[in-house]
Amino acid sequence: MDETRSTRISRADVQAALMWAIEHDRTAFLEHRSTTYTGPSDFTRRRADAKLVELWRVATGQVTAG
């Protein structure tokens, strides 16, 4: 059965993903930081947030990769 989840990313999700990345995936953290500080728009930041949260969810077993 396919898992259904919201496509919206909460601020709490982003914060948790950032804290996880600081401790477990420095490369992902630095990529997110670079993108969000140099990105030209809010859209760029939202995409970076979504990418990091998805990585965090997979790494912590909240969802399967795919």
pLDDT, residue 22, reads 97
Closest C-alpha to 52, from 10, 12, 14: 14
Residue 22 CA to its chain's centroid (Å): 12
Helix and strand tally (H, E) in the chain? 3, 0
Interval 9-25: pLDDT, tens: 999 999 999 999 999 99
Contacts of 26 (CB under 8 A, 6+ apart): none
- Gap between the Cα atoms of 25 and 58, Å rounded: 13
Tell me the two tokens of residue 7: 């496509």
pLDDT band at 7 (very low <50, low <70, confident <90, very high): low
Residue 63: pLDDT band by 50, 70, 90 thresholds?
confident
* pTM attached to this predicted model: 0.82
pLDDT at 43: 93
